[in-house]
């Protein structure tokens, strides 16, 4: 772009071109960004490249743990392997290591949506990053509560029968 040409701006959300005197997109209201190459398209940054790799069918469901890394770097390596297969993932500090003294260190859990859990496990098994027996059992809180209440009722019933027989 030469010095004679006016600065061009483009909306990062919808791609609408704007002039130098506009600061916000007239269609969606997002702040306009400088269009450096003059094409009207935003260059792909690392984040956008990553998001384009994610397969939409793998984005449904609650997050489940599929693997763990001993540190941030190992967990990011696992995350990169999953992204190459189109599986979105997120890192979470493992339980017990989420205290302020351990914010920068410690193990990380690699979490994926439930719809991508089987693909993620297969990918990690092929890369020999997890063992065949590392299947994580998913128990919903409602099911856990139901089992706990059933156990309490059963113990109370046995105690009541014991009191009736003795008394």
pLDDT at site 3:
43
- Pick the closest to residue 150 from 161, 158, 138 (CA basis): 158
- Pick the closest to residue 92 from 109, 75, 74, 73 (CA basis): 109
pLDDT at site 110:
92
Segments of the chain with pLDDT less than 50: 1-5, 136
Based on the fold, state whether residues 36 and 61 are members of the same structural domain.
no
Q: Is residue 37 part of a domain?
A: yes
Which residues make Cβ contacts (< 8 Å) with residue 81, sequence separation at least 6?
A: 123, 124, 127, 129
- The pTM for the full model equals 0.51
pLDDT at site 44:
54
pLDDT at site 112:
92
Could you list the residue range(s) of the whole structural domain that residue 151 is in?
Answer: 139-167
Based on the fold, state whether residues 67 and 112 are members of the same structural domain.
yes
Based on the fold, state whether residues 160 and 92 are members of the same structural domain.
no
């Amino acid at each position: 772009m030469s010095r004679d040409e006016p600065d061009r701006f483009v909306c990062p959300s919808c791609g609408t071109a704007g002039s130098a005197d506009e600061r916000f997109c007239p269609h969606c209201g997002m702040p306009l960004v400088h269009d450096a190459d003059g094409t009207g398209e935003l260059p792909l940054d690392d984040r956008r490249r990553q998001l384009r790799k994610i397969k939409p069918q793998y984005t449904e469901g609650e997050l489940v743990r599929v693997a763990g890394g001993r540190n941030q770097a190992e967990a990011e390596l696992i995350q990169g392997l999953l992204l190459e297969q189109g599986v979105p993932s997120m890192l979470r500090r493992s339980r017990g290591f989420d205290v302020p003294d351990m914010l920068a260190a410690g193990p990380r859990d690699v979490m994926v949506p439930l719809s991508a859990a089987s693909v993620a496990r297969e990918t990690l098994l092929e890369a020999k990053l997890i063992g065949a027996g590392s299947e994580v059992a998913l128990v919903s809180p409602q099911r856990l509560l139901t089992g706990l209440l059933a156990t309490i009722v059963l113990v109370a019933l046995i105690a009541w029968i014991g009191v009736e027989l003795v008394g």
